[in-house]
Structure 1
Amino acid sequence: MESTKERIIEAAVHLFNTNGYSGTSIREIAKKAKVNVAHISYYFTNKAGLQEYLLAVFLEEYLSVLEQIYKKMNMLSAQECVILTVNNVMKFHRENRQLARYVYREITLDTTLVREVMTTYLMKEKYYLQLFFEKGKKNKEFQPISIPLAVMQLKSMISMPFLQAQYLAEVWHVMPYETQTVDQYQKKIIEWLEHSVFSGSGLDKIAL
Protein backbone atom coordinates (compact mmCIF):
# COMPACT_ATOMS: atom_id res chain seq x y z
CA MET A 1 0.00 0.00 0.00
CA GLU A 2 2.77 2.42 0.92
CA SER A 3 4.64 1.56 -2.27
CA THR A 4 1.56 2.51 -4.29
CA LYS A 5 1.31 5.86 -2.53
CA GLU A 6 5.01 6.53 -3.04
CA ARG A 7 4.76 5.74 -6.75
CA ILE A 8 1.90 8.21 -7.09
CA ILE A 9 3.92 10.90 -5.31
CA GLU A 10 7.03 10.30 -7.43
CA ALA A 11 4.99 10.34 -10.64
CA ALA A 12 3.17 13.52 -9.65
CA VAL A 13 6.35 15.37 -8.73
CA HIS A 14 7.99 14.38 -12.01
CA LEU A 15 4.99 15.37 -14.14
CA PHE A 16 4.27 18.58 -12.23
CA ASN A 17 7.90 19.61 -12.73
CA THR A 18 7.86 18.66 -16.41
CA ASN A 19 4.38 19.72 -17.54
CA GLY A 20 3.23 21.98 -14.74
CA TYR A 21 0.32 21.37 -12.39
CA SER A 22 -2.31 22.57 -14.86
CA GLY A 23 -0.75 20.61 -17.70
CA THR A 24 -0.89 17.30 -15.84
CA SER A 25 -3.99 15.13 -15.57
CA ILE A 26 -4.88 12.54 -12.97
CA ARG A 27 -4.86 9.88 -15.69
CA GLU A 28 -1.30 10.80 -16.68
CA ILE A 29 -0.17 10.51 -13.07
CA ALA A 30 -1.90 7.14 -12.72
CA LYS A 31 -0.33 5.90 -15.96
CA LYS A 32 3.19 6.92 -14.96
CA ALA A 33 2.77 5.49 -11.46
CA LYS A 34 1.27 2.29 -12.94
CA VAL A 35 -1.77 2.47 -10.67
CA ASN A 36 -5.49 2.91 -11.10
CA VAL A 37 -7.03 6.39 -10.95
CA ALA A 38 -9.02 5.06 -7.99
CA HIS A 39 -5.80 4.76 -6.00
CA ILE A 40 -5.20 8.51 -6.35
CA SER A 41 -8.74 9.21 -5.21
CA TYR A 42 -8.26 6.87 -2.25
CA TYR A 43 -5.07 8.53 -1.00
CA PHE A 44 -5.55 12.16 -2.04
CA THR A 45 -9.22 12.61 -3.16
CA ASN A 46 -8.21 14.51 -6.32
CA LYS A 47 -5.35 16.36 -8.02
CA ALA A 48 -5.76 19.39 -5.78
CA GLY A 49 -5.54 17.15 -2.72
CA LEU A 50 -2.37 15.59 -4.10
CA GLN A 51 -0.81 18.99 -4.67
CA GLU A 52 -1.74 20.15 -1.17
CA TYR A 53 -0.22 16.97 0.27
CA LEU A 54 3.07 17.54 -1.59
CA LEU A 55 3.42 21.12 -0.38
CA ALA A 56 2.43 20.28 3.20
CA VAL A 57 4.74 17.28 3.55
CA PHE A 58 7.73 19.14 2.13
CA LEU A 59 7.21 22.27 4.24
CA GLU A 60 6.47 20.35 7.44
CA GLU A 61 9.71 18.40 7.08
CA TYR A 62 11.57 21.59 6.20
CA LEU A 63 10.23 23.33 9.29
CA SER A 64 11.20 20.35 11.43
CA VAL A 65 14.82 20.96 10.34
CA LEU A 66 14.59 24.56 11.59
CA GLU A 67 12.75 23.49 14.74
CA GLN A 68 15.54 21.09 15.72
CA ILE A 69 18.01 23.99 15.55
CA TYR A 70 15.61 26.22 17.47
CA LYS A 71 15.38 23.63 20.29
CA LYS A 72 19.19 23.80 20.67
CA MET A 73 19.26 27.58 20.44
CA ASN A 74 20.14 28.16 24.12
CA MET A 75 23.17 25.88 23.80
CA LEU A 76 24.43 27.39 20.53
CA SER A 77 25.72 30.75 19.45
CA ALA A 78 23.70 32.66 16.87
CA GLN A 79 26.46 32.05 14.35
CA GLU A 80 26.23 28.31 14.97
CA CYS A 81 22.44 28.44 14.55
CA VAL A 82 22.71 30.16 11.19
CA ILE A 83 25.49 27.90 9.90
CA LEU A 84 23.54 24.81 10.99
CA THR A 85 20.53 26.23 9.17
CA VAL A 86 22.51 26.54 5.94
CA ASN A 87 24.05 23.08 6.18
CA ASN A 88 20.98 21.16 7.35
CA VAL A 89 18.49 22.88 5.06
CA MET A 90 20.72 22.46 2.01
CA LYS A 91 21.12 18.78 2.89
CA PHE A 92 17.35 18.39 3.20
CA HIS A 93 16.79 20.16 -0.11
CA ARG A 94 19.37 18.05 -1.90
CA GLU A 95 17.80 14.83 -0.59
CA ASN A 96 14.38 16.03 -1.80
CA ARG A 97 15.57 18.04 -4.79
CA GLN A 98 12.75 17.31 -7.24
CA LEU A 99 10.07 18.07 -4.67
CA ALA A 100 11.98 21.17 -3.54
CA ARG A 101 12.09 22.38 -7.13
CA TYR A 102 8.34 21.94 -7.53
CA VAL A 103 7.38 23.47 -4.19
CA TYR A 104 9.58 26.55 -4.57
CA ARG A 105 8.29 27.18 -8.05
CA GLU A 106 4.68 26.68 -6.95
CA ILE A 107 4.83 29.12 -4.05
CA THR A 108 5.79 31.94 -6.42
CA LEU A 109 2.20 31.80 -7.74
CA ASP A 110 -0.73 33.71 -6.29
CA THR A 111 -3.28 31.03 -5.44
CA THR A 112 -5.53 30.33 -2.48
CA LEU A 113 -3.42 27.32 -1.52
CA VAL A 114 -0.19 29.31 -1.67
CA ARG A 115 -1.67 32.09 0.47
CA GLU A 116 -2.59 29.46 3.06
CA VAL A 117 0.96 28.13 2.91
CA MET A 118 2.32 31.65 3.43
CA THR A 119 0.25 32.24 6.56
CA THR A 120 1.19 28.92 8.15
CA TYR A 121 4.46 27.32 7.12
CA LEU A 122 6.34 30.31 5.75
CA MET A 123 5.44 32.55 8.67
CA LYS A 124 6.95 29.91 10.96
CA GLU A 125 10.06 29.85 8.80
CA LYS A 126 10.32 33.64 9.13
CA TYR A 127 9.87 33.33 12.92
CA TYR A 128 12.73 30.87 13.36
CA LEU A 129 15.15 32.71 11.08
CA GLN A 130 14.37 36.05 12.69
CA LEU A 131 15.07 34.60 16.13
CA PHE A 132 18.51 33.43 15.03
CA PHE A 133 19.41 36.82 13.57
CA GLU A 134 17.94 38.76 16.49
CA LYS A 135 20.03 36.70 18.92
CA GLY A 136 23.15 37.42 16.88
CA LYS A 137 22.46 41.12 16.77
CA LYS A 138 21.61 41.31 20.49
CA ASN A 139 24.76 39.41 21.50
CA LYS A 140 26.89 41.45 19.09
CA GLU A 141 27.82 38.32 17.15
CA PHE A 142 26.51 40.01 14.02
CA GLN A 143 27.23 43.32 12.38
CA PRO A 144 24.58 46.09 12.53
CA ILE A 145 22.37 44.57 9.87
CA SER A 146 18.80 44.84 8.68
CA ILE A 147 17.30 41.62 10.05
CA PRO A 148 14.43 41.41 7.51
CA LEU A 149 16.88 41.92 4.64
CA ALA A 150 19.33 39.36 6.05
CA VAL A 151 16.53 36.78 6.45
CA MET A 152 15.32 37.36 2.89
CA GLN A 153 18.84 37.16 1.47
CA LEU A 154 19.61 33.93 3.30
CA LYS A 155 16.31 32.36 2.24
CA SER A 156 16.94 33.38 -1.38
CA MET A 157 20.42 31.90 -1.42
CA ILE A 158 19.32 28.61 0.15
CA SER A 159 16.48 28.13 -2.33
CA MET A 160 18.36 29.39 -5.41
CA PRO A 161 19.76 26.04 -6.70
CA PHE A 162 16.33 24.42 -6.52
CA LEU A 163 14.17 27.32 -7.67
CA GLN A 164 16.52 28.26 -10.52
CA ALA A 165 17.96 24.87 -11.45
CA GLN A 166 17.42 25.32 -15.18
CA TYR A 167 18.97 28.79 -15.14
CA LEU A 168 22.08 27.52 -13.36
CA ALA A 169 22.43 24.58 -15.74
CA GLU A 170 21.86 26.45 -19.00
CA VAL A 171 23.47 29.82 -18.26
CA TRP A 172 26.20 29.02 -15.74
CA HIS A 173 26.75 25.37 -16.74
CA VAL A 174 26.44 24.33 -13.11
CA MET A 175 24.69 21.11 -12.12
CA PRO A 176 22.88 22.33 -8.99
CA TYR A 177 21.84 18.88 -7.76
CA GLU A 178 25.30 17.34 -7.66
CA THR A 179 26.64 16.80 -4.15
CA GLN A 180 29.98 18.45 -4.87
CA THR A 181 28.30 21.50 -6.36
CA VAL A 182 25.93 21.88 -3.43
CA ASP A 183 28.83 21.51 -0.97
CA GLN A 184 30.76 24.27 -2.74
CA TYR A 185 27.67 26.44 -2.84
CA GLN A 186 27.14 25.97 0.91
CA LYS A 187 30.69 27.17 1.54
CA LYS A 188 30.02 30.28 -0.54
CA ILE A 189 26.92 31.07 1.51
CA ILE A 190 28.92 30.71 4.73
CA GLU A 191 31.65 32.96 3.29
CA TRP A 192 28.97 35.57 2.61
CA LEU A 193 27.75 35.24 6.19
CA GLU A 194 31.28 35.65 7.54
CA HIS A 195 31.97 38.78 5.50
CA SER A 196 28.55 40.46 5.49
CA VAL A 197 26.74 39.31 8.64
CA PHE A 198 29.01 37.86 11.32
CA SER A 199 31.06 40.26 13.41
CA GLY A 200 34.00 37.87 13.58
CA SER A 201 33.60 37.25 17.29
CA GLY A 202 33.34 33.54 18.02
CA LEU A 203 34.08 32.33 14.52
CA ASP A 204 37.22 30.53 15.68
CA LYS A 205 35.01 28.36 17.93
CA ILE A 206 32.80 27.13 15.10
CA ALA A 207 33.71 24.00 13.19
CA LEU A 208 32.90 24.90 9.59
Structure 2
Amino acid sequence: MSGQAGIAKQSIIEAAIELFTTKGFKGTTIRDIAARARVNSANISYYFQGKQGLLEACLISFFEPYLSLLEKENKKIAWEDPEICFHRVIRKILVFQSEHHLLTRFVWREITIDSQISREIISSYLMKERYYFKELASAVIGEHHSSLPVSMIIIQLKGMLTTPFLNSHYISEVWGMHPKEPYFIEKYYDSIIDWLQEVVKVQKSVRHADRPPVQVIKTV
Protein backbone atom coordinates (compact mmCIF):
# COMPACT_ATOMS: atom_id res chain seq x y z
CA MET A 1 0.00 0.00 0.00
CA SER A 2 1.38 3.43 -0.98
CA GLY A 3 1.95 6.14 1.58
CA GLN A 4 -0.98 8.19 0.29
CA ALA A 5 -3.30 5.19 0.41
CA GLY A 6 -2.16 4.40 3.95
CA ILE A 7 -2.93 7.95 5.06
CA ALA A 8 -6.38 7.79 3.46
CA LYS A 9 -7.12 4.46 5.12
CA GLN A 10 -6.04 5.72 8.53
CA SER A 11 -8.11 8.90 8.16
CA ILE A 12 -11.15 6.75 7.39
CA ILE A 13 -10.61 4.65 10.51
CA GLU A 14 -10.17 7.75 12.69
CA ALA A 15 -13.31 9.34 11.26
CA ALA A 16 -15.26 6.13 11.79
CA ILE A 17 -14.11 5.86 15.42
CA GLU A 18 -15.23 9.40 16.16
CA LEU A 19 -18.61 9.00 14.46
CA PHE A 20 -19.29 5.49 15.76
CA THR A 21 -18.58 6.80 19.26
CA THR A 22 -20.78 9.87 19.04
CA LYS A 23 -23.58 8.68 16.71
CA GLY A 24 -23.43 4.92 17.12
CA PHE A 25 -22.70 2.32 14.46
CA LYS A 26 -26.26 2.20 13.12
CA GLY A 27 -26.61 5.98 13.20
CA THR A 28 -23.50 6.54 11.11
CA THR A 29 -23.58 6.34 7.32
CA ILE A 30 -20.81 5.75 4.82
CA ARG A 31 -21.36 9.29 3.57
CA ASP A 32 -20.88 10.65 7.09
CA ILE A 33 -17.57 8.85 7.40
CA ALA A 34 -16.39 9.87 3.92
CA ALA A 35 -17.25 13.52 4.60
CA ARG A 36 -15.43 13.52 7.96
CA ALA A 37 -12.38 11.79 6.45
CA ARG A 38 -12.54 13.96 3.31
CA VAL A 39 -12.42 11.01 0.96
CA ASN A 40 -14.66 9.57 -1.71
CA SER A 41 -17.26 7.10 -0.42
CA ALA A 42 -15.95 4.55 -2.90
CA ASN A 43 -12.66 4.44 -0.98
CA ILE A 44 -14.43 2.96 2.03
CA SER A 45 -15.83 0.13 -0.05
CA TYR A 46 -12.46 -0.39 -1.68
CA TYR A 47 -10.44 -0.55 1.55
CA PHE A 48 -12.98 -2.10 3.92
CA GLN A 49 -15.76 -3.65 1.81
CA GLY A 50 -18.35 -1.45 3.48
CA LYS A 51 -19.32 -0.30 6.96
CA GLN A 52 -19.21 -3.76 8.54
CA GLY A 53 -15.64 -4.28 7.38
CA LEU A 54 -14.75 -0.83 8.70
CA LEU A 55 -16.21 -1.77 12.09
CA GLU A 56 -14.03 -4.88 12.17
CA ALA A 57 -10.98 -2.77 11.27
CA CYS A 58 -11.71 -0.42 14.18
CA LEU A 59 -12.00 -3.32 16.62
CA ILE A 60 -8.81 -4.91 15.32
CA SER A 61 -6.96 -1.58 15.62
CA PHE A 62 -7.76 -1.72 19.34
CA PHE A 63 -7.40 -5.39 20.22
CA GLU A 64 -4.18 -6.20 18.39
CA PRO A 65 -1.97 -3.70 20.28
CA TYR A 66 -3.98 -4.20 23.49
CA LEU A 67 -3.39 -7.95 23.53
CA SER A 68 0.22 -7.44 22.51
CA LEU A 69 0.79 -5.58 25.80
CA LEU A 70 -0.62 -8.51 27.75
CA GLU A 71 1.27 -11.11 25.73
CA LYS A 72 4.65 -9.41 26.17
CA GLU A 73 4.31 -9.14 29.95
CA ASN A 74 2.97 -12.69 30.13
CA LYS A 75 6.15 -13.99 28.48
CA LYS A 76 8.36 -12.03 30.88
CA ILE A 77 7.09 -13.84 33.99
CA ALA A 78 9.40 -16.74 33.08
CA TRP A 79 12.45 -14.68 34.10
CA GLU A 80 11.13 -11.54 35.82
CA ASP A 81 9.16 -11.03 39.04
CA PRO A 82 5.49 -11.74 38.11
CA GLU A 83 4.28 -8.96 40.37
CA ILE A 84 6.34 -6.37 38.52
CA CYS A 85 5.01 -7.73 35.21
CA PHE A 86 1.42 -7.61 36.47
CA HIS A 87 1.74 -4.06 37.80
CA ARG A 88 3.49 -2.90 34.64
CA VAL A 89 0.87 -4.28 32.28
CA ILE A 90 -1.92 -2.64 34.30
CA ARG A 91 -0.27 0.72 33.83
CA LYS A 92 0.44 0.08 30.15
CA ILE A 93 -3.21 -0.78 29.56
CA LEU A 94 -4.34 2.41 31.28
CA VAL A 95 -1.91 4.49 29.22
CA PHE A 96 -2.95 2.79 25.98
CA GLN A 97 -6.65 3.28 26.69
CA SER A 98 -6.09 6.89 27.70
CA GLU A 99 -4.18 7.66 24.51
CA HIS A 100 -7.03 6.08 22.50
CA HIS A 101 -9.93 7.03 24.76
CA LEU A 102 -12.52 7.43 22.00
CA LEU A 103 -11.65 4.08 20.46
CA THR A 104 -11.57 2.45 23.90
CA ARG A 105 -15.00 3.76 24.80
CA PHE A 106 -16.45 2.61 21.50
CA VAL A 107 -14.92 -0.89 21.64
CA TRP A 108 -15.98 -1.72 25.21
CA ARG A 109 -19.43 -0.35 24.51
CA GLU A 110 -19.78 -2.18 21.20
CA ILE A 111 -18.97 -5.65 22.51
CA THR A 112 -21.79 -5.38 25.05
CA ILE A 113 -24.24 -5.42 22.14
CA ASP A 114 -25.48 -8.88 21.20
CA SER A 115 -24.50 -8.89 17.53
CA GLN A 116 -22.63 -11.31 15.30
CA ILE A 117 -19.48 -9.19 15.26
CA SER A 118 -19.46 -8.82 19.06
CA ARG A 119 -19.87 -12.57 19.50
CA GLU A 120 -16.95 -13.18 17.15
CA ILE A 121 -14.79 -10.79 19.16
CA ILE A 122 -15.81 -12.43 22.44
CA SER A 123 -14.91 -15.87 21.11
CA SER A 124 -11.45 -14.81 19.94
CA TYR A 125 -9.88 -11.66 21.36
CA LEU A 126 -11.57 -11.76 24.75
CA MET A 127 -10.66 -15.40 25.27
CA LYS A 128 -7.02 -14.44 24.71
CA GLU A 129 -7.37 -11.54 27.11
CA ARG A 130 -8.83 -13.80 29.80
CA TYR A 131 -6.00 -16.32 29.31
CA TYR A 132 -3.26 -13.68 29.67
CA PHE A 133 -4.86 -12.12 32.74
CA LYS A 134 -5.29 -15.53 34.35
CA GLU A 135 -1.66 -16.49 33.74
CA LEU A 136 -0.37 -13.22 35.14
CA ALA A 137 -2.70 -13.19 38.15
CA SER A 138 -2.06 -16.85 38.95
CA ALA A 139 1.70 -16.32 38.84
CA VAL A 140 1.35 -13.54 41.41
CA ILE A 141 -1.20 -14.88 43.85
CA GLY A 142 -1.57 -18.59 43.10
CA GLU A 143 -4.75 -20.42 42.25
CA HIS A 144 -5.78 -21.38 45.81
CA HIS A 145 -3.84 -19.11 48.17
CA SER A 146 -5.54 -15.72 47.98
CA SER A 147 -8.48 -14.16 49.76
CA LEU A 148 -10.39 -14.19 46.45
CA PRO A 149 -10.40 -16.69 43.56
CA VAL A 150 -8.28 -15.69 40.58
CA SER A 151 -11.39 -15.55 38.40
CA MET A 152 -13.04 -13.00 40.71
CA ILE A 153 -9.91 -10.86 40.83
CA ILE A 154 -9.82 -10.81 37.01
CA ILE A 155 -13.49 -9.79 36.83
CA GLN A 156 -12.97 -6.96 39.30
CA LEU A 157 -9.75 -5.82 37.64
CA LYS A 158 -11.38 -5.81 34.20
CA GLY A 159 -14.17 -3.61 35.56
CA MET A 160 -11.63 -1.19 37.03
CA LEU A 161 -9.73 -0.97 33.76
CA THR A 162 -12.79 -0.33 31.57
CA THR A 163 -15.18 1.71 33.72
CA PRO A 164 -13.34 5.08 33.52
CA PHE A 165 -13.48 4.99 29.73
CA LEU A 166 -17.06 3.78 29.49
CA ASN A 167 -18.22 6.32 32.09
CA SER A 168 -15.75 9.18 31.78
CA HIS A 169 -18.41 11.70 32.86
CA TYR A 170 -18.66 9.94 36.23
CA ILE A 171 -14.90 10.05 36.73
CA SER A 172 -15.04 13.77 35.98
CA GLU A 173 -17.75 14.24 38.60
CA VAL A 174 -15.96 12.22 41.29
CA TRP A 175 -12.33 13.18 40.71
CA GLY A 176 -12.68 16.33 38.61
CA MET A 177 -10.48 14.98 35.83
CA HIS A 178 -10.78 13.12 32.52
CA PRO A 179 -9.29 9.65 31.84
CA LYS A 180 -7.25 11.10 28.99
CA GLU A 181 -5.25 13.25 31.45
CA PRO A 182 -1.81 11.88 32.50
CA TYR A 183 -2.49 12.79 36.14
CA PHE A 184 -5.56 10.56 36.11
CA ILE A 185 -3.47 7.60 34.93
CA GLU A 186 -1.01 7.98 37.81
CA LYS A 187 -3.72 8.44 40.45
CA TYR A 188 -5.89 5.62 39.14
CA TYR A 189 -2.97 3.25 38.65
CA ASP A 190 -1.88 3.77 42.26
CA SER A 191 -5.44 3.07 43.43
CA ILE A 192 -5.62 -0.20 41.49
CA ILE A 193 -2.25 -1.35 42.84
CA ASP A 194 -3.34 -0.50 46.40
CA TRP A 195 -6.50 -2.57 45.85
CA LEU A 196 -4.57 -5.48 44.35
CA GLN A 197 -2.08 -5.56 47.19
CA GLU A 198 -4.91 -5.43 49.72
CA VAL A 199 -6.55 -8.44 48.07
CA VAL A 200 -3.42 -10.58 48.22
CA LYS A 201 -1.79 -9.25 51.40
CA VAL A 202 -2.84 -12.21 53.58
CA GLN A 203 -1.40 -14.72 51.16
CA LYS A 204 1.76 -12.63 50.60
CA SER A 205 2.38 -12.34 54.32
CA VAL A 206 2.43 -16.13 54.55
CA ARG A 207 4.34 -17.02 51.39
CA HIS A 208 6.74 -14.07 51.21
CA ALA A 209 7.28 -13.06 54.84
CA ASP A 210 11.05 -13.03 54.36
CA ARG A 211 10.94 -11.30 51.00
CA PRO A 212 11.52 -7.52 50.61
CA PRO A 213 8.71 -5.39 49.14
CA VAL A 214 8.50 -5.34 45.36
CA GLN A 215 9.34 -2.03 43.78
CA VAL A 216 6.56 -0.89 41.45
CA ILE A 217 7.91 -0.01 38.03
CA LYS A 218 6.13 2.99 36.48
CA THR A 219 7.70 2.98 33.06
CA VAL A 220 5.77 2.31 29.88
TM-score relative to the length of structure 1:
0.92
Confirm or deny: 8 A CA contact 1:86 1:186 kept in the other structure.
yes
Equivalent of 1:155 in 150, 155, 158: 158
Aligned runs of 1:1-208 on 2, under 5 Å?
Answer: 1-138=5-142, 143-170=146-173, 173-198=176-201, 199=204, 201=208, 202=211, 204-208=213-217
Shift in Å at residue 166 of structure 1? 2.8
- The letter for the 2-side match of 1:130 is K
Shift in Å at residue 57 of structure 1? 2.1
Alpha-carbon spacing, 1:139–1:146, altered in 2? closer, same or farther (3 Å): closer
Whole-Å Cα distance in 1 between the matches of residues 6 and 90 of structure 2?
A: 32
Shift in Å at residue 73 of structure 1? 1.3
Shift in Å at residue 94 of structure 1? 1.5
Confirm or deny: 8 A CA contact 2:84 2:214 kept in the other structure.
no
Alpha-carbon spacing, 1:171–1:194, altered in 2? closer, same or farther (3 Å): closer
Confirm or deny: 8 A CA contact 1:137 1:144 kept in the other structure.
no
Confirm or deny: 8 A CA contact 1:80 1:206 kept in the other structure.
yes
Whole-Å Cα distance in 2 between the matches of residues 139 and 78 of structure 1?
A: 14
Shift in Å at residue 25 of structure 1? 0.3
Whole-Å Cα distance in 2 between the matches of residues 93 and 143 of structure 1?
A: 29
TM-score relative to the length of structure 2:
0.87
Shift in Å at residue 70 of structure 1? 1.1
- The letter for the 1-side match of 2:87 is I
- The letter for the 1-side match of 2:121 is V
Confirm or deny: 8 A CA contact 2:82 2:140 kept in the other structure.
yes
Aligned residues: 207
Offset from partner CA, 1:54-105 (integer Å, 9 cap, x none): 1122111111000100111111233222201211111111122111111011
Offset from partner CA, 1:12-61 (integer Å, 9 cap, x none): 11111111111100000000111000111111110010001111221111
Confirm or deny: 8 A CA contact 2:143 2:150 kept in the other structure.
no
Whole-Å Cα distance in 2 between the matches of residues 88 and 22 of structure 1?
A: 32
CA RMSD for the aligned pairs?
A: 1.9
In structure 1, stretches of 5+ residues that fail to align are none
Alpha-carbon spacing, 1:19–1:170, altered in 2? closer, same or farther (3 Å): farther
In structure 2, stretches of 5+ residues that fail to align are none
Whole-Å Cα distance in 2 between the matches of residues 203 and 13 of structure 1?
A: 46
